[in-house]
Amino acid sequence: MSADSPELAAAMRLLDAAKDQGFRFQRVAPGPDGPLRGVRETPEFLDELYLAGFWEPGACTAIRRRRCTLLVPGGLPVTARVEGDALTVLHTVVTDWACLS
Predicted pLDDT of residue 23: 96
3-state secondary structure of 15: helix
**pLDDT digits 0-9 by tens, 18-66:** 999 999 999 998 877 789 999 999 999 999 999 997 777 888 999 999 8
Predicted confidence band of residue 2 (pLDDT cuts 50, 70, 90):
low
Q: Which residues contact 40 (CB under 8 A, 6 or more apart)?
A: 18, 21, 22, 23, 24, 46, 47, 49, 99
Predicted pLDDT of residue 1: 53
